[in-house]
Amino acid sequence: MDVLYEHETLLQVVFVSALIGGGAAWLAGRAIAQTWRPFWHVVLYMALLGAAVRFVHFALFEATLLSPLSYAADTLYLLALGALAWRVTRAGQMATQYYWQYERTGPFTWRVRAQVT
């Protein structure tokens, strides 16, 4: 923990990275899926959100702004949450929007509906 977040406490990291950044990542991933955008948009937006989270650490807690390891850790966490939200939303969309063709098989997956003859 000392290598990634040198001048920050665990509470600060959890508050900014996990709660605020994680919530924003979930909402962004969901919004990207709801507008039918491809997955690579999630990657791009999470990279930008990772920079914003680093700035909040810097502005509120006087952390190091340009810390590549901290940025990478924050961005990977945000990317995981954004991708999870994107996939959950997309699975729901496919099963709801195309209910005659697809059925949901789990929180992340769907399949082609069996043809009844």
Question: What does DSSP assign to residue 112?
Answer: E
Cα gap 39→42, rounded to integer Å: 5
pTM of the model: 0.89
What is the pLDDT, as a whole number, of residue 1? 57
CA dist 50 and 35 (Å) reads 22
pLDDT digits (tens, 9 = 90+) for 38-88: 999 999 999 999 999 999 989 988 888 888 888 999 999 999 999 999 999
Indicate whether 2 pLDDT > 80: no
Domain boundaries of the chain, sorted by first residue: 10-88
Query: pLDDT confidence of 92, banded at 50, 70, 90?
Result: very high
Please give the Cα distance from 22 to 79 (Å, whole number).
9
| Closest by Cα among 1, 25, 14, 23 to 75 | 25
**In the predicted structure, residue 20 carries a pLDDT above the cut 90:** yes
Measure Cα distances from 75 to 22, 31, 93 in Å.
Answer: 10, 18, 26
Average pLDDT over the chain reads 90
The pair of three-digit structure tokens given for residue 39, joined into one six-digit string: 């997955």
DSSP conformational letter for 107: S
Identify the pLDDT of residue 93.
Answer: 93
Average of pLDDT values for 89-112?
90
